[in-house]
Structure 1
Amino acid sequence: MSHVALICPPFHSHLRVFEALGGELLRRGHRVTFLLNAGASPSAGPPGLMRRETGSRSGRDIEALLARAARPTGPLGILRTVADAAELTDELCRDGPAILTDIGADAIVGDAMEPAAGLLADHLGLPHVSLSAALPVHHDPAVPLPFLSWSYDPSERGMKRNRGGERVARLLLTRQRRTIARWADAFGLPPRDGLADCLSRGAQISQLVPSFDFPRAAAPHRHMVGPLRAGPRDAIANDDAGGGRPLVFASLGTLQGHRVDIFRAVARACRDLEIRCIVAHCGRLTPSQAARIDADLVTDFVPQEKILQSAAVCVTHAGMNTVLDSLAAGVPMLAIPIAFDQPGIAARIVHHGVGERLSRFLVSPGRVKASLARLLAEASFRDRARAIGRDIATSGGVGLAADIVEEAILGRASRIEMGRNG
């Protein structure tokens, strides 16, 4: 069996996805080790999952970095986040070769958002699989960049718009591109100009299903496997604990749960509609802040997949994991995107008619109430969500992802052995 190294950014949602894949690979007899930035080790995970961290000589604070990422503040905030990400890549490229050699890694599964994975794999001659915990980042001229809220438009006008967005993104990502180019040169690799140049050329995995993405050109090395979760999903159960009143579940994820004003607007809208509301702030609110939200339940964490089985609508920041969990349960969404790829995911929610989108700058009890009323009244939203949910149920998930990783590893091993025998 092989020793697989997992490399991903220090975000909770990404770590959970990689832990699910790591657990499945462990179950199949492989050794699995997380290679993470200093201070980023997850506190829990599957038994047997090992962890190694880089050293941090820059004095940076991982919690401060995550806090900055949770509060985007225009172009300057974007540049700060790009600089932070480049610093994390620098750490991994600096310390990664020695760590990977020391543990005897046979292969790397790297987050598509972390270019160090591809750089290290090519430097050490290891097979490499890219895994998108967020939206895929590979180029398609008809598909807007993941962090843009633009609708799908395959016309020449739409593709011209996309090219303009890519030019702006190239400027904003200058710090990242320079870091990638510097380490490619240091490792003796051909020139690399950006994140897409660091993706695996053999296997790229995403959590999407085709019915929830924009149309893309097919490629044999790109695989949509659906959400990667640890363990089987429970069957959807009916809930009548609220006396027939619909339930709205509101979560803004692990980074955005501090936005008390959004939660208050959602709770007020639910009261006006006389429906139930559960808020999960993921530990981002103080008790006094939580007390200001007049919902039926305000708590830090809930079993999200189970709650969604009983929900009529999910109010979400449009994070990938919450959105896929909602679709798996057949639940329409009100998306309030804030950062990262959330605008792009919200655009897909609207495109496929599984929910509505509301700007975070325009959130008010009245606007939320109007959206929730439409989502509850119009059956088409739930019907379309359930249709995508059926696709998710048969998509393969973590088992198929592990199959693809094993094929990439064993295929490489077989070619090496054939070369030796020849």
Structure 2
Amino acid sequence: MSRFLFVVPPLVGHINPAVGVAAELTARGHRVAWACADPGLVLRHAGGKAVVFSCDGPQLHVPGTGDGVRPPDIRGPEALKFLWERFLAPLAEAMAPGVTAAVREFGPDVVVADQQAFAGGLVAERLGVPWATSATTSAEFTDVLAGTPKVADWIDGVLSGLRARIGDPSGTADPRFSPHLVLAFSIREFVGPDARTGEQIRYVGPSITERPAPADFPWDWLDPSRATVLVTLGTANTDVGPRFLAECHQAVRSRADRMQAVIVDPAGALAGADDKDVLIVRAVPQLPLLERVDAVVCHAGHNTVCEALWHGVPLVVAPIRDDQPVVAGQVVQAGVGIRVRFGRVTAVKLGEALDAVLHEPGYRAAAGRMRSGFRAAGGATAAASRLEELVAEEVS
């Protein structure tokens, strides 16, 4: 029996993939614990019996911007700078003491550090504990900063500073890419021909596992005679979503003779607008629902994209910020969907994109091929096996 400590940021999209791997390890008789700046978030998704060590850390939230995360108007380099300066770097420094205490108390054989929880890798390196990277987005597996060397150098500087303060100053590892093992929850066919490779990088495919879901979803509302579209912007974009959701609503209403939609609207931006053609809810049982939808409109969040393709469902993607433009590019390159402009797309353009992914056979065929590739990669089962192998290598 081995011990694995998962170090994760307080972000649902980064916790969910790790939950499946942790559950698989537990089922094999291993002990699992977590370190996070929001223990309650881990408990809600990993189960109330999970062992969670609390860490300090900021939330990706700016006071005075309502219930949204970050100022809603920042995009591109400005958003990247905000993410690193105001969240990722402070999170690493704040989490480091808690991660250190968790390692010393729990005594893991391996630390499994999320790619954005830099404290996991840096502390593990300093304490001499083998560590693996949990990469919950495929964006880092292409050289997206090749055309912006100054940005790449700036990020390297941030990481060097973190290593000097909370890691081993003589260390050399990039905390985003463990030299021991990197679990990429995607496959090379989706990332594209320039996908990062290396002996330690293992493309295990999406980690799909059951998760808490609303029990009162009105399944009998779905009309099997019409195509069903799921519209969702994930859990962190409520501040920027109202206009886009309204355009989606209009696009579906104008095709009500052949289309219906389930729109996820956690902030209630479309309150009172649902009808017989559009169901507006604050949350959905996403995995069961994906088994019954024909297309997904989303922000190109990696988890949502992978979960749709796991079910062979084509996409219309409207990236907002962070890794989403990269993932959207991978969607287009793989032929599994169409990209639209989040801030400018109209109901007419959305409708045209939906018509294409629903009725042009190439998109569904490509999504079906990706479904087969994702499932063959092994997901949480393969990831757990790779972690077991890492322990065996360190023991031998």
Distance 1:243 1:112 in 2: 41
Amino acid at match of 2:237: Q
User: Does structure 2 retain, via aligned residues, the 8 Å contact 1:41–1:51?
Assistant: no
Change in Cα spacing, 1:61 to 1:121, as seen in structure 2 (3 Å) is closer
- What pairs with 1:100-111 in structure 2 (closer than 5 Å)? 100-111=103-114
Task: Report the equivalent of 2:343.
Answer: 361
2:9 maps to 1:9? yes
Distance 1:301 1:231 in 2: 15
2:327 maps to 1:349? no
Distance 1:97 1:225 in 2: 28
State the Cα distance separating 1:293 from its structure 2 match: 5.7
2:388 maps to 1:386? no
Distance 1:72 1:87 in 2: 22
Distance 1:108 1:178 in 2: 22
Task: Report the equivalent of 1:36.
Answer: 36
| Aligned residues: CA RMSD | 2.6
Task: Report the equivalent of 1:337.
Answer: 319
Task: Report the equivalent of 1:229.
Answer: 208
User: Does structure 1 retain, via aligned residues, the 8 Å contact 2:80–2:322?
Assistant: no
Pick from 285, 288, 305 the counterpart of residue 287 of structure 2: 305
Q: Residue 235 of structure 2 aligns to a residue in which SS?
A: helix
Amino acid at match of 2:200: H
Distance 2:302 2:196 in 1: 21
Task: Report the equivalent of 2:190.
Answer: 212
Change in Cα spacing, 1:409 to 1:336, as seen in structure 2 (3 Å) is same
Pick from 223, 237, 247 the counterpart of residue 242 of structure 1: 223
Distance 1:198 1:272 in 2: 45
Distance 1:50 1:39 in 2: 9
Q: Residue 394 of structure 1 aligns to a residue in which SS?
A: helix
State the Cα distance separating 1:265 from its structure 2 match: 0.7
Pick from 179, 188, 205 the counterpart of residue 162 of structure 2: 179
Change in Cα spacing, 1:126 to 1:209, as seen in structure 2 (3 Å) is same
- What pairs with 1:311-330 in structure 2 (closer than 5 Å)? 311-330=293-312
2:74 maps to 1:73? yes
Distance 2:116 2:133 in 1: 9
Q: Residue 319 of structure 2 aligns to a residue in which SS?
A: coil
Q: Which moved more, 1:265-274 or 1:64-73?
A: 64-73
State the Cα distance separating 1:115 from its structure 2 match: 1.9
Change in Cα spacing, 1:39 to 1:408, as seen in structure 2 (3 Å) is closer
State the Cα distance separating 1:124 from its structure 2 match: 1.1
User: Does structure 2 retain, via aligned residues, the 8 Å contact 1:85–1:176?
Assistant: no
User: Does structure 2 retain, via aligned residues, the 8 Å contact 1:72–1:78?
Assistant: no
Task: Report the equivalent of 1:122.
Answer: 125
Amino acid at match of 1:107: V
Pick from 280, 291, 303 the counterpart of residue 264 of structure 2: 280
Distance 2:92 2:302 in 1: 23
State the Cα distance separating 1:40 from its structure 2 match: 6.2
Distance 2:300 2:291 in 1: 18
State the Cα distance separating 1:220 from its structure 2 match: 2.4
Structure (1 or 2) with the greater helix fraction:
1
Distance 1:293 1:360 in 2: 22
- Mind listing any 5+ residue stretches in structure 1 that lack a counterpart? 146-161, 233-238, 415-422
State the Cα distance separating 1:364 from its structure 2 match: 1.1
Distance 2:103 2:321 in 1: 32
Q: Residue 117 of structure 1 aligns to a residue in which SS?
A: helix
Q: Residue 208 of structure 2 aligns to a residue in which SS?
A: coil
Distance 1:213 1:198 in 2: 17
Q: Residue 137 of structure 1 aligns to a residue in which SS?
A: helix
User: Does structure 2 retain, via aligned residues, the 8 Å contact 1:20–1:230?
Assistant: yes
Q: Residue 223 of structure 1 aligns to a residue in which SS?
A: strand
Task: Report the equivalent of 1:149.
Answer: none
State the Cα distance separating 1:70 from its structure 2 match: 7.6
Q: Which moved more, 1:62-71 or 1:242-251?
A: 62-71
State the Cα distance separating 1:217 from its structure 2 match: 5.4
> TM-score, normalised to structure 2's length?
0.87
- What pairs with 1:80-229 in structure 2 (closer than 5 Å)? 80-83=82-85, 84-135=87-138, 137=140, 143-145=142-144, 163-171=146-154, 174-184=157-167, 187-190=168-171, 196=174, 198-215=176-193, 216=195, 218-229=197-208
Amino acid at match of 1:37: A
Change in Cα spacing, 1:68 to 1:172, as seen in structure 2 (3 Å) is farther
State the Cα distance separating 1:180 from its structure 2 match: 3.3
State the Cα distance separating 1:240 from its structure 2 match: 11
Q: Percent identity?
A: 23
Pick from 219, 229, 249 the counterpart of residue 267 of structure 1: 249
- 1:299-354 deviation digits (Å, cap 9, x = unpaired): 12212122222212110111111111111111110000112211111001111111
Task: Report the equivalent of 2:395.
Answer: 413
